[in-house]
Amino acid sequence: MITHDYSEWHEPEKPPFTVEELINAVKELMMQYHVSFDEALKHLQERGLPYNEFLKVGGLDELIQGFLDKIDQQKQDILSQYRIDDLLTKLEETIRRKSIEVEQLMAKLKDKLLSQRLDDGLKQRNPSLLYTVDWQLSRNKDKNSETARPLLMELVQLIQQMNSLSQLNQEHSFTGQKNLNPSEAERLQDKLQMLDELEDKLMDAVEHGDLFNMDVEQLKDLLGEEAAQAFEAKREEVRQKFTEALKATGDVDFDENANLYKITPGAARKIGEKALKEVFSRLFTDGIGRHHATYTGDGNVEMTTTQPYEFGDSLSSLDLPSSLLNSAIRQLGSTEKANGKIRIDSRDFVVHQTKGAASSAIVMLIDQSGSMSREGRFFNSKKLALALDALIRTEYPEDKLYFITFSTFAKQISVGAIPELAPKPVTIMGGAVNMRIDYSKEVSPRSKDLIPEHFTNLQKGLELARVLLSNSDTKNKSILLITDGAPTAFYEDSFLYLTYPPNERTFDRTLREVKAVTDENITINTFVMGNDFEMNYFGEGEFLEKMHRVNKGRLIFPAPDKLTQYVLKDYLDHKNKIIQI
C-alpha cells in the first residue's frame, strides 16, 4: 500500500524559470496562504523574480552593462584622484594622544578592573568595550569620571571613523595624490558605497533578470536622468511582455484600471483537476469510474445490447449495421427482387438500449469562520471544493454543484473565487460575546464594517442552500457541509445575533432551519473538522448529533488532510447508490 503525506509548502530556493512554473507557484501560495493571485505574485517579485530568464527581452544585458561601465568609470575617477593613507596616519596620531589623556584621568579613579577594560578597548580599537567603560563611569559621581566621559566619547568617534576608513582603504585601491580631510573622506565613502550597492543590484539584474527591486531614484542620482529613463523604458517593455505571457496561458487576466493580476475561472479548474488526479492516484486504483442507472429507456449512454425498434424510440440510437443486415436477410428470403439494392424499412430497425443517468444537485457549504484557519482545515476545504468541481464537470456533467461560504454572513461564490478565499480573521479576543444588530434600521457601511465577521452563521448558510436547491428539478438534493464546530450566529426577525460561547438559543434557531431543509427532502452530509476537545467544550458535539437526528444525513469526522479523498470517495459511492435503481 502506498501512502502520501502532505507537508507545508516551501518556497523554492530560486524562483521558477518558466511562465507555467511561475503560475503554479503562485497558485500554491494562493491556496496555502489564502491570498489573491496579485498578492502572491508580488511576494515572488519581492523575493527577486527572474523575469528575463523566461522572457528574454532583447537589449537588456547591453543596457545594464553600459550602466556598469559608467559606475566603474566613476569609481576609477575617485580612486585615481585621492589618497587616504595620510588621513589614516593623522587619525592614528590623534587617537594615540587622546588615549593618553583618558588613561591618565582613569588612573586617578584607582579602579584596576575599569582601567584594564579601557586598555583592552583601546588596544583592540573596539568601540563596544569603550561604551561599557562609559556606562560604568556614568554610575560613578567622581569628578574625574565626569571629566573623562566626554573625552572617552570623542575617542570612540575617532576610533569608529578610523575603522571605517581603514576598511574603505582595504576595499579600494586609492592611487591619487590629493589628500582628504575627515569630512571629505566621509562624503567619498558614502559615494563609493552607493556606487557599490548600485553595481551589485545591476549585476544581480544581469544574472537573474530581477528588474523590479531596483531603486530607480538611486540610478538617477548616480548615473543621471537619461540612464533612469532608459532603464524604466526597458522595464516597462519587460512588464508588458510579462503580462502578455501570463494572459496567453489563459490562466491570468490583468485589470488595467486596478493595476492587478487576477486568476481566471479556468485556472481555478486546473487546480481542481490536479487535486483530483492526486486523490485518484492514491485512492481510486480499483477502476471506479462513471456509474449509470440499471434501468433501460431513453438516456444518454448507449449499451452494447440492442432491441427491435418500437414507435417512439429515438432514431439517434439506431444500430445501422444491424438494421442493414436485417434488411438484407429479409430480402434474401423474399420473392421481391432487390436488383442488388437493399431496401430498408422500419421492420428492419434495431436500436441500442440506453441507460438513464441519475442527476443530483449539491451545495457545498464551506465554513469560513475564524477557527477554520487551524490545522490546514480551510486549505483542505478549498482543495476539496475544486476537486469536487473537476470530478462533476468531467464525470457527472448532469449534476449541479453550487458553492456557499458562511461566517457571520453567507453568500454564494463562483468556482473561480475559491483559490483566494480566506477564513475571516478573528477580531474579538477573549471573553464572552452577546451582540445584536438591528437590520430593520438602515445599517451604514461604516457600522457594517465594524461587525465582526468570524462567527459561524450556519442558519443563514443552510437557508441560502435551501433556496438554491429549491430551484432544481432533480429529486436528489443534498448539502455537503464542511465545518469545525457549532453555530455562534443566527437571524431572528430583523435582528442578527452573535453569541459566544454558543448557547441553546443559537442551537435552536439553527435546528429550525435544519428542519426546513429536511422538509424539502434535502440531505445534509456533515464533515466535521474539529477535534474531540473542540466538539465537547460548549456542547458542539451534542448540537451536531441533534442535527443528524433531524435530517438523517451522515455525520463524519475526517482528518483535515484526508478530507478531499474521503468526500470524493463518499460522493462516488453515494452516486452509485442513487442511480442503481
Together in a domain, 395 and 473: yes
Q: What is the pLDDT of residues 314-337, one digit of tens each?
A: 666 777 777 777 777 777 766 555
- Total domain count, the chain: 4
Tell whether 376 and 326 lie within a shared domain.
no
What is the Cα–Cα distance from 229 to 223, expressed in whole angstroms?
A: 11
Q: Is residue 89 part of a domain?
A: yes
The answer to whether 469 touches 520, Cβ cutoff 8 Å, is yes
- The predicted model gives 558-575 an average pLDDT of 74
**184-197 residue pLDDT tens:** 888 888 888 888 88
The answer on 414 and 536 residing in a single domain is: yes
What CATH number does residue 486 fall under? 3.40.50.410
* Contacts of residue 176, Cβ cutoff 8 Å, sequence gap at least 6: 79, 80, 81, 82, 83
Residue 43 · residue 12 · CB < 8 Å? no
Q: Is residue 459 domain-shared with residue 501, that is, in the same domain?
A: yes
| Same-domain check for residues 25 and 102 | no
> Minimal CA–CA distance to 261: which of 37, 424, 417?
37
11 in a structural domain? no
* Per-residue pLDDT tens digits for 514-544: 999 999 999 888 888 866 655 666 767 788 8
Range with lowest mean pLDDT among 179-188, 225-234, 553-562, 570-579: 570-579
**Could you tell me if residue 279 is inside a domain?**
no
User: Is 302 a residue whose pLDDT tops 80?
Assistant: no
Greater model confidence, 411 or 110? 411
Which pLDDT belongs to residue 460? 93
CA separation for the pair 483, 553 (Å, rounded):
15
Residue 330 sits in the same domain as residue 370: no
pLDDT-derived band of residue 463, with 50, 70 and 90 as boundaries?
very high
List the beta bridge partners of residue 365.
404, 481
411 phi and psi, to 5 degrees?
A: -155, 155
Does pTM surpass 0.85?
A: no
pLDDT of residue 18 exceeding 80: no
145's CB contacts (< 8 A; 6+ apart) are 109, 137, 138
Query: Within this chain, do residues 250 and 324 fall inside the same structural domain, yes or no?
Result: no
The verdict on 467 and 551 lying in the same domain is yes
Contacts by residues 236-239 (CB-CB < 8 Å, ≥ 24 positions apart): 237/57, 238/51, 238/52, 238/55, 238/57, 238/60, 238/211
Tell whether 113 is covered by a domain.
yes
- Residue where one domain finishes, among candidates 305, 325, 355: 355
Residue 4: predicted pLDDT: 47
In-domain check, residue 6: no
C-alpha distances in Å from residue 448, one per residue of 307, 369, 428: 65, 17, 15
Q: What whole-number distance in Å separates Cα of residue 548 and Cα of residue 573?
A: 20
The answer to whether residues 68 and 103 belong to one domain is no
Instruction: Indicate the residue among 118, 148, 173 that finishes a domain.
Output: 173
CA atoms within 13 A on the CB side of 270: 14
Q: Quickly count: other Cβ atoms within 10 Å of residue 347's Cβ.
A: 11
Alpha helices (runs of H) in 307-376, residue ranges in sequence order: 320-332
Domain limit, last residue, from 173, 198, 221:
173
Predicted confidence (pLDDT) at residue 289 exceeds the cutoff of 50 = no
Domain extent, residue 214, equals 19-78+208-263
Q: Reply yes or no on whether the pLDDT at 241 is more than 50.
A: yes
Report, as an integer, the average pLDDT of 107-113.
81
| Position 574 pLDDT exceeds 50 | yes
Q: What is the pLDDT of residues 129-173, one digit of tens each?
A: 888 888 888 887 778 788 888 888 888 888 888 888 888 888 888
Average pLDDT, the chain: 79
> Looking at the domain assignment, is residue 186 inside a domain?
no
What is the model's pLDDT at position 311?
58
Q: 109 and 27, same structural domain?
A: no
Percent share of the chain, pLDDT over 70: 79
**Local confidence band at 295 (pLDDT 50, 70, 90 cut-offs):** very low
Residue 193 located in a structural domain: no
Question: Per mean pLDDT, which range of 37-46, 73-82, 185-194, 496-505 is the poorest?
Answer: 37-46
Q: Could you give phi then psi for residue 483, rounded to 5 degrees?
A: -150, 165
Query: 355: which strand partners?
Result: 296
Q: How crowded is residue 541: how many other Cβ atoms within 10 Å of its Cβ?
A: 19
Q: Is the pLDDT of residue 338 over 80?
A: no
> Is 4 a member of any domain?
no
Do both 366 and 338 map to the same domain?
A: no
Lowest average pLDDT, out of 57-61, 328-332, 520-524, 576-580, goes to 576-580
Query: Do 345 and 373 fall into the same domain?
Result: no
Say what the pLDDT of residue 457 is: 92
- Determine phi and psi for 179, rounding to 5 degrees: -75, 155
